[in-house]
Amino acid sequence: MTALAPAAAPPTGAEPRTALLRRAAPALLGYAAVRLLGVAVLALWAGVTGKSPHKLLCLRWDSLWYTRVAEHGYGYTLHLPGGRVHSDQAFFPLLPWLERGVSAVTPLHPADAGLAVGWLSSLAAAWGIFAVGDRLHGRRVGTALVALWAVQPTGIVQSMAYTESLFTALAAWALYALLRRDWLWAGTLAALAGLTRPVGVAVVAAVWLTAAALLHRDRRRPGARLLLGLAVAPLGWLGYVGWVGVRTGNPLGYLDVQGGWGNGFDGGLAFARFIGGQLTAPPYVGGLGLLVAVGLLGRLYARCVRQRQPLPLLIYTAVVLALALTGAGYFGSKPRLLLPAFPLLLPLALAVARLRPVRAALLLTAVALASAAYGACWLLGSGPP
């Protein structure tokens, strides 16, 4: 059976938080080094090609839409040939709100404010990921988990004015709160995650289903903090989706907005057809690579189950995987959409933590260099949509 969140009292006062930060310091320093390496390689490569790394990090693709919302609010629609309609209502509001707030109190342009939020959020995410790994398996595993999250091939997105870092920070700390059974904090962070990305439902599901399993197991009445946490958790996601429904005059208006972008959920049929198309025409490498990647994701999740990860992590990861792999749309986005699924890396973190420190450092350094090179090549090419 899967383990439920272990019981523990929430931290009180400033000292426990300070102690937790000191404990996480090596992991955070290593994380910052990896991300600085990625940005440095991008800057050097962009300089050679005559492109601006600043523009690549915060003035292209979705970053432009978030900046527009921060500057002008919602209401912009782009009509494209073929009948597609791109509405800014596809983008959840927390990042634009933060961009607007930071730019209001600093000299930063909203785009640069978004970049600052992204960088600070990535550190908060790394800290939250460390806290989860450390609580479950100790400091070495927590540090390895952060390093593995940093060196993912699409890890450069963690340094962009995108929502992946912000969402992962909120999700990681919500999961940590669930491990401590701090229901009110978990619900509050879930509500904020629900204002950040559509996949915020994964955090809400983790809160609700963990509470349901715990109450069923213990056969006891829920406490006031638990009930309040459950009530607060879905408010962010439901609030924004409901607001879009009112704006569009359709309770399912957000689905229509996503459909205008060519996005939606079809159980993975479009993704399967895409892989099939890659397998039916030479050189076949793309299709085979996608099959291997999907198989690896399934194997990692099965490993997480066999290692009896706590129920909140398994629920959260399952929903993130399901939404990423069953959605239609631009398939190049899927690696980016999987970035928040950091519990998938726990089996690998356990393996890395068992290595001798020198071997682990050499392995992670080599992977970090490869990740930095890939990230620069990716952003200078097709990049994240």
pTM of the entire structure?
Answer: 0.94
What's the per-residue H, E or C state across 252-296? CHHHHHHHHCCCEECCCHHHHHHHHHHHCCCCCHHHHHHHHHHHH
- In this predicted structure, what is the pLDDT of residue 14? 47
Could you read off the pLDDT of 231-282 as tens digits, one per residue?
999 999 999 999 999 999 999 999 999 989 888 877 778 788 878 888 887 7
- In this predicted structure, what is the pLDDT of residue 11? 43
The dihedral sign for the CA sequence 204, 217, 137, 344: negative
Q: What is the average per-residue pLDDT within 322-348? A: 90
- Tokens representing residue 164 in the block: 């992946």
Confidence grade of residue 218 (pLDDT, cut at 50, 70, 90): confident
What is the average pLDDT score of the chain? Answer: 92
- In this predicted structure, what is the pLDDT of residue 125? 98
Lowest-pLDDT choice from 43-57, 160-174, 325-339: 325-339
Please state at what angle helix 164-179 crosses helix 183-194, rounded to 10 degrees: 160
Could you read off the pLDDT of 90-148 as tens digits, one per residue?
999 999 999 999 999 999 999 999 999 999 999 999 999 999 999 999 999 999 999 99
Residues contacting residue 379 through CB under 8 Å, at least 6 positions apart: 42, 56, 57, 156
Give the number of other CB atoms < 10 A from CB of residue 115. Answer: 22
Could you read off the pLDDT of 115-124 as tens digits, one per residue?
999 999 999 9
- In this predicted structure, what is the pLDDT of residue 288? 86
